[in-house]
Every structure is written in C-alpha cells, then in structure tokens.
Amino acid sequence: MDLDLAPPAGVGPLQIGMSQQAAATALDSLRDLTSLSDSDRPGQHVFRPSGLMISIHCMRGQLEAIELGRPAAATDRVMFRGLDVFALPAREVVRVMREHTRVQADPEDRASFVAPDLLLSFWRPFATDDEPDEVQGYYFGSVLVAQPGYYDTPAEAEERSGRSC
C-alpha cells in the first residue's frame, strides 16, 4: 500500500481537523485485517505487516497530527510527490524536499528536519549519513504531518491567536 503525504491536509483517509471519531474510523481502515498486530491500539495507532506504524494525535476532539513510522518491508510506502521518504537516505530526502520547500534542521535535534511551510517533520534518533549499515541513523524513522500551529513556539501561538480575532 502507498500512503501519500498531502501536507497540511493529511495522509490518505486521515485528514487534519477531522473529528476524533472519524479519525479513529479512518485509522481502522488502514489496518490489515489478515494480519492484526498485538501492538495495535484502536483510535491511537496501527502496525501493518510491513512494520509501518500509523499513529494519530487528537486534541480537543480533532485530529491534529499523523505520524508514520518506517516500515521494515517495502510492501508499504510513504510517498511525497513521488518520493518514498523511508526508502532513500535521510540526506537525499532532505535534498529532494528542498527542491519543493524550505527544510531546516530541527534546532533541538540536528538529526531531524522540519519543513515548516508544509507542517511536515522528519525524525531519526541520530545522524549517520555516511554509514548505510546503521539504518536508524541513515534513514528517517518517522514522518509527521500536523495542523497549522503545531510547531509554534509559545510566542508564535500567541501571535497566531491574536491574528485570528
């Protein structure tokens, strides 16, 4: 299965801003009924047979973020404009993403990157860009699509709330 990242709208049937109940139903539709995982938590996350983890984060009854964890098998892919974000080295993903949008290193975690204009972030536990055998640091381990304001600092959130009045 291919899941297309469509920031900031969502991923596949999961759409940012949908109700928590609708998000739980959409998440359930991504479960592989022929191979249920004991790690699945209805309304929170599912693990597909490939190892792909799909997690939803809701607040105030609405879906605010969707996180996808890197699959172990290529039977599931997470795509952004034709780019398989978990199949390519992290350095290459960042390079290609920069052709589409601004991408910056996370100031708190230099191994991770944020595309703030798309409300998209990429995470890995550490950077080993020159060591392909070190999978956890060579590839991104997760990608997150979020609602506007998700990455705001407290000052930015205050400014955003002031603009919406």
User: pLDDT band at 165, cuts 50/70/90?
Assistant: very low
pTM of the model: 0.87
Query: What's the token pair of residue 33?
Result: 């009924």
pLDDT tops 90 at residue 160? no
Is the pLDDT at 133 greater than 70? The verdict is: yes
For the CA atoms of 84, 88, 92, 95, the dihedral, rounded to the nearest 10 degrees, stands at: 10
- 72 Cβ contact partners less than 8 Å away, ≥ 6 residues apart: 50, 51
Question: DSSP secondary structure string, 96-116?
Answer: HHTTTS--EEETTEEEEEEET
Query: Confidence class of residue 157 from pLDDT cuts 50, 70 and 90?
Result: low
Q: How far is CA 97 from CA 47, 86, 144, in A?
A: 26, 13, 14
* Segment 58-72, tens digit of pLDDT: 989 999 999 999 999
36 pLDDT tier (thresholds 50, 70, 90) = confident
Residue 161 has pLDDT above 70, yes or no: no
Residue 108's φ and ψ, nearest 5 degrees, are -95, -15
